[in-house]
Amino acid sequence: MSTSPNPYAPNAPIDSFNSSNLGDGLESLGKKPPKGPLAIWFRWSAVCAIAAAPSFYVGYGVSDGQVAAMLLGIVLFIVLYTVVDLNTSSWPIRQKTMVRRILVFTYGTRIFISIVFPLGLAIDMLVGLFATSCVEAVTHLSMGSFREDGFQSEFALALLLTIVQGFFLNILLAVWALLTLGIARLSSRLWNRIHGLIGRRGHRVDEGTTPTVI
């Protein structure tokens, strides 16, 4: 004789979700969705436009008004930054909070220096003179040597000078970022060590106290 199920027994829970989906949801909680190529393009366009302002001001007089060549050089750097940003956004090192903050601080410093016009002008002028010396030493050409050759030769040399100067400025930014990262990691380790010593000392004090019996 078969027995009927207990009508007062609680219903079995219904598994309405997958544990893997829950894990993925918790893992992605609080993360911002990745930005599209257009947003990244506009961001680097703003950064490069502000950062290049002092160099553009100096280069306008040095290159005999080769505005198109300098603008093309700036656009090339914007494209390079955008491509690198898109291709490295999923790298594990880019997901670290400290690395993201260092990148923001590095380029924020560059923008600040460019806005403080005398300081940015002095730095870009020194780097520009160094870049010009390197290009002239390698190519044995200068802007004054193209008086008879026409506009195209001056355009090509101005574009080359813009690219070389931007390359050297990016090396300085990389050195500044690595130096900042080293200082941040050293400060973090020092703080963790001090915090650990304080915690162990407080634990020992708690163990040495005797409870009061009422």
Q: pLDDT of 97-108, one tens digit each?
A: 888 999 999 999
pLDDT of residue 49: 93
Mean pLDDT of 52-81: 89
Mean pLDDT of 92-100: 89
Mean pLDDT of 17-28: 42
Residue 1 has pLDDT above 60, yes or no: no
Residue 173 has pLDDT above 90, yes or no: yes
- 0.85 surpassed by pTM: no
The residue written with tokens 């002095």 in the block is 122
Which DSSP helix (H) or strand (E) runs through 190? helix 151-208
pLDDT of residue 44: 95
Residue 32 has pLDDT above 70, yes or no: no
Residue 25 has pLDDT above 50, yes or no: no
57-to-53, 113, 141, 190 alpha-carbon distances in Å: 6, 15, 22, 43
Residue with the larger pLDDT of the pair 28 and 153: 153
- Burial label for 37, CB within 10 Å (0-12, 13-18, 19+), is exposed
Residue 86 has pLDDT above 50, yes or no: yes
Q: How far apart are CA 190 and CA 195, in angstroms?
A: 9
Contact 143, 157 (CB under 8 A): yes
pLDDT range class, residue 207, cuts 50, 70, 90: low
Contact 111, 50 (CB under 8 A): yes
Q: How far apart are CA 74 and CA 48, in angstroms?
A: 7
pLDDT of residue 50: 93
